[in-house]
Amino acid sequence: MAILPILCYPDPRLHKVAQPVQTVDARIQALVSDMLATMYDAHGIGLAATQIDVHERLVVIDVSEERNEPLVLINPEIVWASPDKHVGDEGCLSVPGIYDGVERAAAVHVRALDAQGQSRTLEAEGLLAVCVQHEMDHLMGKVFVEYLSPLKRNRIKTKMLKQQREAHE
Ligand code: NI
């Protein structure tokens, strides 16, 4: 297992659209292990392959208190979204230190392959539903700050670029 570097907003690679995983093989399973290690190391609740500069439809999630319920979603598709919406504060490992409210479907059903290549349907609500939708956006090249006003987004962009410059000094 390896801890992989996470791309930081506004890195243009975060806007690439991921391609479907062709086969759940040893390469994908190794990637899943690395992504889980990277997510736990960064104290995140979700990580999309896009964030580690791999542009395949692969997401890992763990919203449990104990950090021992890893979820692997390969080629996830939302098959149902509740009409009722919920606004919750979101953060992102690619936008460190920024939290803001985003409106999402309150519940979703997601069909995906697991790490063994088995098709499963996940029924998600609450934090898990938020996390699934947030990570699936990453696969489409979308970062949560894009839901915010242009003014807020520009302020965040400036702040991130300043942090990144300072980190390199
Ligand atoms: Ni994120």
Query: Which residues hold their Cβ within 5 A of ligand 1, which is an ion?
Result: 92
8 CA distance to ligand 1 centroid (A)? Answer: 10
146 is catalytic: no
Q: 149 is written with which tokens?
A: 């006003």
In this predicted structure, what is the pLDDT of residue 114? 98
Total-model pTM: 0.97
Task: Identify the bridge partners of residue 101 per DSSP, sorted by sequence position.
Answer: 89
What are the residue ranges of helices labelled H in 109-149?
Answer: 126-139
The helix/strand/coil state of 124 is strand
In this predicted structure, what is the pLDDT of residue 1? 81
Q: Which H/E stretch holds residue 101?
A: strand 100-105
63 CA distance to ligand 1 centroid (A)? Answer: 13
Rounded CA separation 135/4 (Å): 17
Do strands 100-105 and 85-90 pair parallel, antiparallel, or not at all (unpaired)? antiparallel
48 CA distance to ligand 1 centroid (A)? Answer: 7
In this predicted structure, what is the pLDDT of residue 169? 78
In this predicted structure, what is the pLDDT of residue 154? 97
131 CA distance to ligand 1 centroid (A)? Answer: 8
The answer to whether the beta carbons of residues 77 and 59 sit under 8 Å apart is: no
What are the residue ranges of helices labelled H in 45-142?
Answer: 126-139
44 CA distance to ligand 1 centroid (A)? Answer: 9
Per-residue pLDDT of the chain (169 residues; tens, 9 = 90+): 899 999 999 999 999 999 999 999 999 999 999 999 999 999 999 999 999 999 999 999 999 999 999 999 999 999 999 999 999 999 999 999 999 999 999 999 999 999 999 999 999 999 999 999 999 999 999 999 999 999 999 999 999 999 999 988 7
In this predicted structure, what is the pLDDT of residue 152? 97
Instruction: Spot the catalytic one: 77, 103, 123, 135.
Output: 135
